Each structure stands twice: as C-alpha cells, then as structure tokens.
Amino acid sequence: MDGQGATADPQLQHFIEIESQKQRFQQLVHQMTEVCWEKCMDKPGPKLDSRTEICFVNCVERFIDTSQFILNRLEQTQKSRGSFSETMLD
C-alpha cells in the first residue's frame, strides 16, 4: 500500500463536513424553535401579538448568544487544556 489508502478523497471529506454542518444547524434551529415556542407561545392564534413577537425575537437572540458563548468557551478551554473532559469540571 502507498500510505494513501486510508486517506479519503478531499472532495468527499468536504462534502461530509458540509452535510454535518447542515445537520448541526438544523438540529440547532429545531432546538431553538422548541425552546422559544414553549417560552413565548401562550395560545396559538391566526396572528402573533406584539408581546409574543418580541418574546420570540428576544428568545432567539439569547439562544444564539448563549450557543455562541458556549462554543467559544469550549474552544478556549480545549486550546488551553487540550482536553474536553476537563471542561465539564469548571
């Protein structure tokens, strides 16, 4: 074997990475929708009232901010300590 047998095609790796990112994004949207729906939607109707709309906007913004903060924190911790498992001890 020439040593490249275990290396996947770069285009295939890129495709898999993109599809994984899409899947993570869809999961995030689903989770955000579920959280904000439970928090903001009192009684479904034909139209959102302004209070409910503001609640949804604030909820989505906080969800995104929180998700970004957590990702940044995990990245910093992994870089400084080199181990994800230690992050859970903070």
Q: Which residue has the higher pLDDT, 3 or 50?
A: 50
The count of structural domains within the chain is 1
Is residue 76 assigned to a domain? yes
Give the tens place of pLDDT for each residue, 72-86.
888 888 888 765 554
**Does a structural domain hold residue 18?**
no
With beta carbons less than 8 A apart as the criterion, state whether 33 and 63 touch.
no
- Classify residue 85: in a domain, yes or no: yes
26-85: pLDDT as tens digits: 998 899 999 999 999 988 888 889 999 999 999 999 988 998 898 888 888 888 876 555
Any domain includes 52: yes
Residue 26 included in any domain:
no
pLDDT band at 2 (very low <50, low <70, confident <90, very high): very low
Q: Which residue, 36, 87, 88, 30, is CA-closest to 59?
A: 36
- Domain ranges, residue 75: 48-89
Tell whether 39 is covered by a domain.
Answer: no
59 lies in a domain?
A: yes
Is residue 6 domain-resident?
no
The residues, any chain, with a CB within 8 Å of residue 21's CB and separated by 6 or more, are none
